[in-house]
Amino acid sequence: MTRPRTVAPHITIAGMIALVMLAVPEVAHAQRLVFIVRHAERADEGGQARQMSAPSDPLLSAAGQARAAKLRTMLADAGITAIYVTEFRRTQDTGLPLAQTLGLTEQRVPSADTAGLVTQLRQRHRDDVVLVIGHSNTVPAIIKALGGPSVTVGDNEYDSLFILVPGPGTLTRIRF
């Protein structure tokens, strides 16, 4: 008696995985996860008390330094492989404690170039967990450009950590 030939179960599973991968839209080949946060508190109180002699690129205040340290603690084990900041010290100083802990060099991008940032994320970090530190006026644009919903960040709001899954555009906001 001749037995009918059967296909090995691992081939069938591999075939099904291949079909699923082909059916997934291209947008799902973006980052696995993007953390997006506004820089921590500025030493000049957000520019409200700025005088003519005040620096245009202020350092972080004591509260800002504490928030940057808290961000490091929160994200140290998140699997972050890249940190993007702008040309301003306040974004760089917000990410520095985490970058030092992880042994990463912050990647600087112009604050006005959201499209360039998104292109870099999609080309260089296709399956990575990334942290982006922006400004109250750039964080909403970055989230939207990565496929997330519309959000607002107030001028005096420093405590929002956005967690975005770019493929489906799922966004979670955590206050810290």
Give the DSSP per-residue string, the chain.
-PPPP---HHHHHHHHHHHHHHHS-GGGGS-SEEEEEE---BTTGGGTT--TTS-SS--B-HHHHHHHHHHHHHHTTS-EEEEEE-SSHHHHHHHHHHHHHHT-PPEE--TT-HHHHHHHHHHH-TT-EEEEEE-TTTHHHHHHHTT-------TT---EEEEEETTTTEEEEEE-
* Identity of residue 154: G
Q: Does position 12 have pLDDT exceeding 70, yes or no?
A: no
Tell me the three state secondary structure of residue 38: strand
Q: Is residue 133 part of a domain?
A: yes
| pLDDT confidence of residue 48 | 52
**The total number of structural domains that make up the chain:** 1
| pLDDT confidence of residue 120 | 96
| pLDDT confidence of residue 37 | 98
Length of the chain in terms of residues written: 176
Distance CA 57, CA 79 (A): 30
Q: Is residue 97 part of a domain?
A: yes
Q: Is residue 159 part of a domain?
A: yes
Q: What is the pLDDT of residues 16-44, one digit of tens each?
A: 334 434 444 444 444 589 999 999 999 98
Percent of the chain beyond pLDDT 70? 76
Q: Is residue 9 part of a domain?
A: no
Identify the DSSP state of 59.
-
Q: Is residue 3 part of a domain?
A: no
Distance CA 19, CA 135 (A): 41
Q: Is residue 67 part of a domain?
A: yes
CATH number of the domain bearing residue 40:
3.40.50.1240
More confident residue, 154 or 11: 154
Rounded mean pLDDT of the chain? 84
Q: Is residue 100 part of a domain?
A: yes
Its domain, for residue 112, covers 26-46+53-175
| pLDDT confidence of residue 162 | 98
Q: Is residue 6 part of a domain?
A: no
Q: How confident is the model over 47-67, as a mean pLDDT?
A: 75
